[in-house]
Structure 1
Amino acid sequence: MEIKRIFDILTHYREMYDCERTMLAGRINGKWNEYNINEYIQYADNISYGLLAMGVKKGDKVAIIRGHINLLGTKQKVYAV
């Protein structure tokens, strides 16, 4: 598979690796949640369907705003590079 768009990476990953393997983990309300590639793709698809339903179209700009940003950890990561 040729990767031409950033979301092609997800499909490529699904074709290359075990679909049940944890690919992403995050902590919600102090509890760790793990997601495999199929769950992650479904989550991403749901977000895109929601944006389309809101009227977002090609060329529109969308911001990603995240709660709780660990600035100290960010600085450490930047300095490590």
Structure 2
Amino acid sequence: MTTLWFVPPVFVKIETDGGRHGCNNAMAALEQLKRWARRGPRWHKAWTLCLSALEGDPIDRHVVRKAFVAAAKEAEMYLSPE
């Protein structure tokens, strides 16, 4: 399993308590995606890219991060960095 790091981290809401979580790699992003109730086309794209990256496919980290940000915005889970 390959770790694909995000710089800077992507901050998202935590649905259960309204807190915030900084995702700094594809595994953390995948864990957050699992928890979201709203799953649109951008969610599916981010899910696929995160899985592919973790399987070792040669995917640029910026592409995965950008897809995760788009999914977070689509699901209204994105929080701007402090």
Query: Is TM (by shorter chain) over 0.5?
Result: no
Task: Please give the range of the TM-score, normalised by the shorter of the 2 chains.
Answer: under 0.3
- Which one has the bigger strand percentage? 2
TM-score by length of 2: 0.23
Which one scores higher on RCO, CA 8 angstroms, separation ≥ 6?
2
Larger Rg computed on CA atoms: 1
TM-score by length of 1: 0.23
